[in-house]
Amino acid sequence: MARVVVVGSINMDLVTLAPRFPAPGETILGDRFVTVHGGKGANQAVAAARLGAEVALVGALGDDAFGAPLREGLAREGVSLEHVATLAGHSSGTASITVAGGENHIVVVPGANAQVTPAQVERAQAALARADAILVQMEIPLETVEATLRLGHRLGKPVILNPAPAQPLPLDWLKLARYLTPNQHELAILLDATPDEDFLSLMRRAPAPVVLTRGADGAWYRDGGEPTHQSGFPVEAVDTTGAGDTFNAALAVFLHEGVPTAVRKACAAAALSVTRLGAQGGMPTRGELDTLLAAQA
Ligand code: RIB
């Protein structure tokens, strides 16, 4: 069983389903509203657990009405919460999400996620030292992202940096990652590139190996040689929220099988994840993933 440590955010997702996205200044009537558990860190932890990994999460919740149900949801999925703090006087992270035509718009308010500290990561050192892979994203303070990269590197553990939401990062931080997992847009921001530079050229000059997600088109990966393409798995998309998180989790869980296999499994898991509503709603179990892979073999 792979051991995965996730350092990242936990959010309550406030999801509105609408026939289309409103224009700026416009009000439209939506179809449905649901409250579901999300946050890139929590999503990656849940996806890895469903795929059979032993998972520990490092993060923070508020002591508001969302904190307890978010903690209970993670516990039900079997995620270890020893390093998830509940912070008095803070609200939990929220994401206001509009879903229309299978696409989404998201506004995140970090709340307690903004209080996840480098010291918290240091306190989780024993868990990181036991991990086969470490996942970190960018909905927590950048100093904590840096601390995770540095500690993972010092321990000789592969750290997968999912640079989302993206912002430019110092090259010496990026070099500490075993893999960067942006989409095309995020890679351009991360490397402070001009909009006309194509993603293959960005992948070639990135300071660490890149696994680039391309939605329905699958993924490209480069670990030294030339970029290689992995096709996507065709499915009917209901909600793409959390697809990237499922991809990252599967990459971490199957990394020990080699990058080509891990990327293929990550594309399959991400495809399954978009077939149901909610970031965590469609995340597959190991059995569901194996069934899809066997059907496509
Ligand atoms: O990656 C999807 C996640 O991004 C959502 O669950 C939302 O909480 C935002 O963090």
Residue nearest to atom 10 of ligand 1 (CA): 39
SS3 16: strand
Helix (H) or strand (E) holding 50: helix 40-50
Ligand 1 nearest atom to the CA of residue 93, by list position: 8
By the 8 A CB rule, do 152 and 134 touch? yes
Output the ligand 1 site: residues, CB below 6 A.
Answer: 9, 11, 13, 38-40, 43, 95, 106, 108, 139, 241-242, 244-245, 279
Mean pLDDT across the chain, nearest whole number?
Answer: 96
Question: pLDDT-based confidence at 148, cuts 50/70/90?
Answer: very high
Mean pLDDT across the stretch 94-117?
A: 95
Q: What is the pLDDT of residue 297?
A: 78
Domain locations in the chain as residue ranges: 3-9+40-59+113-296
CATH of domain 3-9+40-59+113-296: 3.40.1190.20
Mutational pocket test of ligand 1: of 241, 248, 280, 283, the residue with most ligand atoms within 8 Å of the beta carbon: 241
Is residue 245 part of the annotated active site? The answer reads yes
Q: Are strands 93-100 and 11-17 parallel, antiparallel or unpaired?
A: parallel
Q: In angstroms, rounded to a whole number, what is the distance separating the alpha carbons of residues 279 and 240?
A: 8
- In the predicted model, what is the mean pLDDT of residues 196-219? 96
Sorting pLDDT into bands at 50, 70 and 90, what band is 101? confident
| Res. 296: pLDDT tops 90 | no
Whether 62 and 112 have beta carbons less than 8 Å apart is answered as: yes
8 A C-beta contact, residue 198 and residue 211: no
| Percent of the chain at pLDDT exceeding 90 | 94
**Catalytic residue, candidates 13, 64, 239, 245:** 245
Distance 224 CA to ligand 1 centre (A): 31
On the question of pLDDT at 213 being above 90, the answer is yes
pTM: 0.97
Which pLDDT does position 166 carry in this prediction?
94
Give, using CA atoms, the residue closest to atom 2 of ligand 1: 242
32-38 and 11-17: which strand pairing? antiparallel
Mean of pLDDT values over 76-85 = 98
- Judge whether 144 and 116 are in contact, CB under 8 Å: yes
Q: Is the pLDDT of residue 50 over 80?
A: yes
Residue 102: predicted pLDDT: 77
